[in-house]
Structure 1
Amino acid sequence: MRSETAVPVLLYHSVRDDPPPWIAPFTVGPAEFGRHLDRVLASGRVPVDLDRFTEALHGGRDLPRHSVLITFDDGYADFARYALPQLVERDLPATLYVTTDALWPTRRPPLPPAAMLTWDGLRRIADTPGLTIGAHGCTHRELDTLPIELMHREITDSRERLETELERPVTSFAYPFGYNNAAVREAVRHAGFRTAMAVRDAHSSREDDPWRISRLLVRADTGATRLDAWLAGAGARVAPFRDGLPTLGWRIWRRTRARRRGHPDPWAGRRDPVAGRIR
């Protein structure tokens, strides 16, 4: 089914040919990424930046018909080397959500081994036309399983660090793993963010929740047929919609596990951590 209201918000992670195994399922090669961007342009979709989308979600001027957004999570070094130049070449806006404690130099990297951006590198690209920088927490923890004070610190400290380093407002947040609940969303609103990105593997829309924007997770095996379907407004649900029983059950299981283990590092003991249930 095609939907005229669907707004595909594409979520990428890493763009490189030789990713570490743990992130490989969610990595797209540079050449393939370029082909993705060319398909976006050929689709007739109108690329919009985050500010324009935020304005529409909050009741401002409407979006262009058939809009599309491009986002990245985590802050890998390959974004600056391989992704950003191709976006700039095609005049495509994008938003990069940064896990602040993962950027170098760092004393205790919160993510498994991977080449991350440095703070100097982030500052160098921050003024690139069309690029927006957002917060993605400090340590990429599952926010909906954390004690309330720690959850608030993850949200507010990541924003404050980015604003200090970049000397500009940071108004959008992306939930690590996409995990959130009502308390987490309220904390994000209280911290002053105007939008927040979830995942949900669904299209967003003009009526989506500004603090739970649905995105379509681009994987290594996301082929042309699937991407074209998304760009046509098909192949996935359109937000807003209620959580289904599998999502609710997964959330309860994760909270129970966290209580039993004392809120451990969410990456510990996972062979393929990102390939789990991301919502």
Structure 2
Amino acid sequence: MDDPPGWIAEFTLTPRQFAAHLDAIVDSGRTPVTIGTLAGHLAGRTPLPSRPVLLTFDDGFADLPGRTAEALAERALPATAYLTTGAITPGGHSLLPPAPMMTLDQVPELERHGMEIGSHTVTHAQLDTLPARRLAEELRTSKTVLEDALGHAVPHLAYPHGYNSPRVRGMAARTGYETATAVRHALSSDRDERYRIARLIVRRSHTAADVEAWLAGLGARTAPYRDGPRTVAWRWYRRARAVVHGPEFAG
């Protein structure tokens, strides 16, 4: 968007910026893959192509089945879209602040544009602060809604804002997800964890040169690595807040 809502502006690119980033990916000579391809590799079933790159989009904003999908399709770039079902279902509820969103009936259209679909929970809550029953509902219900819309399995999950824990990762596996992506703002690797796949955060301030550096393996650490003390402390602080205030938006 050129003029996004303030709360999401930091993580929004203008159409011109987005085109420049995509062109940098095409020019890099890397092979774009979906999360399903990476899942097969991490599970030991299939090898990855040389120099792979994976594009992911979270939430399900209104531009996704429009200008975003079109820009990807024009360059023959597949991608994975993780959708917050409560935000795109008519009459649904989510913790996302107001923003233009796509609708559930547009999900098959994303697949026709070459996107793979994954779950981003129902409400976009901080999963690592939820009680077990609420956590299970977030993971199971979003998966079921998307599977009903598409008519096939949806085995991939993205944790809202990357918030996860060993308990959350275990629940994701038991719910039937084959992979789950976090954030970590790091490069992934062929040694990465299947239920905590690292991703890079694209911000409005990032230029095509930043993208070119990432594609060259520069400018970010490489997963897997252990959570640092700050990450662990932040998780406990958020859990304490959730006890007092209830589930909060992951963002």
TM more than 0.5:
yes
Distance between the aligned counterparts of 2:186 and 2:109, measured in 1? 33
Q: Which moved more, 1:54-63 or 1:106-115?
A: 106-115
- 1:67 maps to a residue whose letter is P
Write out per-residue CA displacement over residues 68-117 of structure 1, whole angstroms, 9 at most, x where no aligned residue. Answer: 00000000011112110011111001000000000042244431111101
Q: Does 1:43 align with 2:21?
A: no
The alignment yields a C-alpha RMSD, in angstroms, of 1.3
- 2:131 maps to a residue whose letter is P
TM value normalised by structure 1 = 0.87
Q: Which moved more, 1:156-165 or 1:107-116?
A: 107-116
SS at 1:77 equivalent: coil
1:64-75 correspondence to structure 2 within 5 Å: 64-75=49-60
Write out per-residue CA displacement over residues 25-71 of structure 1, whole angstroms, 9 at most, x where no aligned residue. Answer: 10011121111010001112211122211111111222122210000
Larger helix percent? 2
Contact 1:74/1:136 (CA < 8 Å) preserved in 2? yes
1:156-235 correspondence to structure 2 within 5 Å: 156-235=140-219
Contact 2:84/2:120 (CA < 8 Å) preserved in 1? yes
Equivalence for 1:134: 118
1:84-95 correspondence to structure 2 within 5 Å: 84-95=69-80
Contact 2:21/2:207 (CA < 8 Å) preserved in 1? no
- 1:155 maps to a residue whose letter is L
- 2:73 maps to a residue whose letter is V
**Distance apart, 1:125 and its partner CA:** 2.9
Contact 1:104/1:116 (CA < 8 Å) preserved in 2? no
Q: Does 1:148 align with 2:132?
A: yes
Unpaired runs of at least 5, structure 2: none
Distance between the aligned counterparts of 1:102 and 1:163, measured in 2? 16
Distance between the aligned counterparts of 2:110 and 2:92, measured in 1? 23
Decide whether aligned partners of structure 1 residues 139 and 109 sit closer, same or farther in structure 2, where only a CA change above 3 A counts.
closer
Distance between the aligned counterparts of 1:37 and 1:186, measured in 2? 34
Equivalence for 1:260: 244
Unpaired runs of at least 5, structure 1: 1-15, 268-272, 275-279
